[in-house]
Amino acid sequence: MAKILDLQAKVRSAAGTSSVKRLRKAGSIPAVIYGKKHDHTQLEVDAKTFSALMDGSASDNVLVNLKIEGEKATSLALVQEIQHDYLRGGVLHVDFHAVDATEEIHANIPVILQHIDLAEKKGGQIEHILHNLEVFCLPKDLPETIVIDVSPLEVGGSYHIKDIKLPSGVTTHIDDENVVVALKEPTVAEETAAPAAPAAEAKK
């Protein structure tokens, strides 16, 4: 199950592009929290602390106990969305979705394949079709990943949603017959015959 981590945050009063740039230069990440359990509030979190928190997680779907400066109680929140800066690195913005510990949440969880080499030794090629699985559960039951051991697969075989053993308390609404991973016959490129040399032009 996913760990619930502690994270400090401050209320962000300034808005606009220039203030956001200053915030990032000062080592903070602009953020927002919203949901039925918390008013829509602009926040900022420490960039190094948040990056360290995410580096220790297998996915972006992390639960945090958000301690907002000036608020007595912590807010249980799901990291709903992270905007990454793919050019310079780092994080541009974070969305926190405040949730209730007693109410079901949904999240997209990474599907991780194990023992691909053992499966492909049988002469096939693994085709990973479903990389993330949308699940529904209470916050305490949220898994970090869905792990599938593909070593039992035979060439031509596949695993479907119905073949995944989800953790206790976790469900999905995806159709049972959807294929998650398959061990395909290897693709063999057809050899094309070399074109025949053109006949020498008859001498006149």
Nearest CA among 31, 34, 108 for reference residue 77: 34
Instruction: Copy the structure tokens of residue 128.
Output: 């990973």
Q: Are strands 28-34 and 91-98 parallel, antiparallel or unpaired?
A: parallel
Give CATH 2.170.120.20 domain extents, the chain: 105-184
pLDDT of residue 123: 93
Instruction: Give percent of the chain with pLDDT exceeding 70.
Output: 90
Q: What is the CATH number of domain 4-98?
A: 2.40.240.10
Could you give the 3-state DSSP secondary structure of residue 22?
helix
Backbone angles phi, psi at 118, to 5 degrees: -65, -35
The domain 105-184 is placed in CATH, from the list 3.40.640.10, 3.40.50.1390, 2.170.120.20, 3.90.230.10, at 2.170.120.20
- Which residues make Cβ contacts (< 8 Å) with residue 39, sequence separation at least 6? none
Q: List pLDDT tens digits, range 24-81.
A: 889 999 999 999 889 999 999 999 999 988 887 777 778 999 999 999 999 999 999 9
pLDDT of 193 > 60? The answer is: no
- Cα 7 to Cα 76: distance, rounded to the nearest angstrom: 10
pLDDT of residue 1: 64
Backbone angles phi, psi at 2, to 5 degrees: -70, 140
Question: At 189, is the pLDDT very low, low, confident or very high (cuts 50, 70, 90)?
Answer: low
- Cα 107 to Cα 111: distance, rounded to the nearest angstrom: 12
Question: At 195, is the pLDDT very low, low, confident or very high (cuts 50, 70, 90)?
Answer: low
| Mean pLDDT, rounded, for 105-116 | 94
| Mean pLDDT, rounded, for 159-168 | 95
| Mean pLDDT, rounded, for 163-176 | 95
